[in-house]
């Protein structure tokens, strides 16, 4: 008898979870990015078979799913912590204190959702949201969070604005906007005003040492420097994001992945003044798919090996991207004098529109005013596959492999690559110190 009751309760819970799951996702889809992508790809048909992908080497989806199921079946007991109840006003005054208090409450509660309500703009100074929290936590941002522009507010830490540290099983979602309010920082950048000394500006949002993290549906705008960084994280999903800043804003990378394992970036529209996505040392198993990129500097692995450092990047896959009006398309960049490797990298199903360097490996990368000295050591680049990459180049050089004399690029494959000039002109390929492995239907050729 008791057993029977339990079963009924269980069935009720399942039904309720399904209902809340479906209804929840019906309500939220502020940016129908996938629709947008369908439109784009209808113009550039690609064989459907190339669109399928396997997910075996990623554990994150499994973990997340488990947590989500559990989450929704307990959704009736979710405690909503509203920043307004802790004194946030959203009236142009500083709301940092209220966010600190609300975080403390949410993080120490069982099953909480920290809510930033819609319709208002909350101004924040630099703030660190620290874990570990008592149980899985959701941060729901429906309003706008905007950065203080007083540079003195950043005295203690010029490198971060919003920092989430050591928060595991964490979901950040909503249809709100995170606005770095970066104009003042850009004006004070040495890249814009050559008279000024080069100083760092804050990354708008940093996730540091987080495990099982989902960031979805948000918009990031006008960061002081980089928009969204994942550092030393494991199992990350960045889904349905929009990242927007002017094409001439300095160093405003969209999504930056560093020392992070098992990351999926999916359905994101990114247009900024620097790399749409940059993946740097200590990162492996990173997958970016359904990416719209431009303006900006394209999708980059690197830079790696600066100041004779050791770099290790492996198992990176970019699948399905539209890159337009950028200075680079898919790029690997390393400094001379570094060591380590960038290996097992695949770029596939990419459409380029008027991209200055559509395919580029640059092992002589130098981002300094004066030229960099020639050095013998290098970050080794190997096993890079370019598959089904087509479109137009804004420069003559559609393919540029500028590899190290001492450590040539190894096992480079080009499969179904067709890039022409903007007006269908001929394009060229320049290939220095590169060992090609497979080549099939490639234009232009080395």
Ligand X SMILES: *[C@@H]1O[C@H](CO)[C@@H](O)[C@H](O)[C@H]1NC(C)=O
Residue numbers at the binding site for ligand X (CB under 6 A): 325, 354, 356, 394, 422
Supply 42's token pair: 């209808």
Nearer to ligand X, 285 or 356 (CB): 356
Nearer to ligand X, 328 or 356 (CB): 356
Shortest separation between residue 43's beta carbon and ligand X, angstroms: 16
Beta bridge partners of 420: 392
- Cα 343 to chain centroid, rounded: 20
Shortest separation between residue 424's beta carbon and ligand X, angstroms: 13
Residue 391 to residue 13: CA distance in whole angstroms: 51
Q: How far is CA 300 from CA 96, 140, 328, 332, in A?
A: 34, 30, 8, 6
Catalytic residue among 37, 227, 297, 418: 297
Q: What is the DSSP letter of 161?
A: E
Nearer to ligand X, 267 or 357 (CB): 357
The neighbour count for residue 155, using CB atoms within 10 Å, is 9
Residue 205 to residue 128: CA distance in whole angstroms: 10
The answer to whether 114 touches 122, Cβ cutoff 8 Å, is no
- Provide φ and ψ at 42, rounded to 5°: -65, -30
Q: Is 4 noted as a catalytic residue in this protein?
A: no
Shortest separation between residue 44's beta carbon and ligand X, angstroms: 17
Shortest separation between residue 272's beta carbon and ligand X, angstroms: 15
Instruction: Quickly count helices (H) and strands (E) in the chain.
Output: 5, 30
Nearer to ligand X, 20 or 354 (CB): 354
Shortest separation between residue 296's beta carbon and ligand X, angstroms: 12
Shortest separation between residue 376's beta carbon and ligand X, angstroms: 34
3-state helix, strand, coil in the chain (%, to 5): 20, 45, 35
Strands (E), 34-154: 79-82, 91-94, 112-116, 121-124, 127-130, 137-141, 144-147
Nearer to ligand X, 366 or 394 (CB): 394
Q: How far is CA 309 from CA 45, 208, 226, 279, 362, in A?
A: 42, 21, 22, 16, 17
Nearer to ligand X, 114 or 419 (CB): 419
Active site residues: 297
């Amino acid at each position: 008898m008791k057993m029977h009751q339990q079963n009924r309760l269980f069935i009720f819970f399942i039904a309720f979870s399904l209902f809340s799951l479906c209804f929840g996702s019906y309500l939220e889809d502020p940016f129908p990015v996938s629709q947008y992508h369908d439109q784009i790809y209808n113009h550039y048909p690609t064989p459907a078979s190339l669109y399928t992908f396997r997910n075996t080497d990623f554990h994150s989806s499994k973990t997340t799913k488990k947590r989500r199921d559990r989450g929704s079946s307990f959704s009736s007991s979710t405690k909503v912590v509203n920043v307004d109840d802790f004194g946030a006003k959203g009236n142009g005054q500083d709301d940092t204190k209220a966010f600190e208090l609300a975080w403390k409450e949410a993080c120490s509660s069982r099953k909480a959702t920290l809510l930033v309500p819609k319709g208002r703009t909350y101004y924040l100074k630099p703030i660190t949201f620290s874990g570990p929290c008592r149980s899985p936590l959701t941060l729901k941002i429906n309003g706008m969070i905007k950065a203080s522009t007083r540079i003195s507010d950043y005295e203690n830490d010029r490198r971060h604005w919003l920092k989430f540290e050591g928060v595991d099983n964490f979901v950040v979602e909503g249809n709100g906007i995170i606005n770095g309010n970066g104009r003042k920082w850009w004006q004070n950048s040495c890249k814009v005003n050559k008279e000024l000394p080069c100083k760092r500006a804050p990354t708008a949002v940093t996730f540091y040492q987080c495990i099982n993290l989902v960031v979805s549906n948000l918009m990031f705008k006008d960061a002081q420097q980089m928009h969204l960084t994942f550092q030393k994280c494991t199992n990350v999903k960045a889904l349905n994001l929009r990242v927007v800043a002017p094409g001439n804003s300095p160093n405003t990378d969209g999504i930056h992945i560093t020392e992070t394992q098992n990351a999926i970036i999916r359905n994101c529209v990114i247009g900024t003044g620097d790399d749409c996505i940059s993946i740097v040392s200590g990162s492996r198993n990173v997958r970016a798919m359904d990416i719209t990129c431009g303006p900006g500097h394209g999708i980059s692995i690197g830079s790696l090996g600066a100041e004779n450092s050791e770099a290790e990047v492996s198992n990176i896959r970019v699948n399905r991207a539209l890159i337009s009006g950028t200075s680079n398309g898919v790029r690997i960049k390393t400094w001379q004098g570094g060591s380590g490797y960038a290996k097992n990298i695949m770029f596939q199903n990419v459409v380029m529109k008027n991209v200055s360097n559509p395919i580029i490996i640059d092992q002589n990368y130098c981002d300094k005013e004066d030229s960099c000295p020639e050095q013998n050591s290098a970050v080794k680049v190997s096993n890079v596959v370019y598959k089904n990459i087509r479109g137009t180049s804004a420069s003559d050089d559609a393919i540029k492999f500028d590899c190290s004399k001492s450590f040539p690029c190894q096992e480079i494959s080009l499969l179904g690559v067709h890039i022409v000039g903007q007006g269908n002109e001929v394009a060229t390929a320049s290939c220095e110190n590169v060992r090609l492995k497979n080549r099939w239907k490639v234009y232009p050729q080395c």
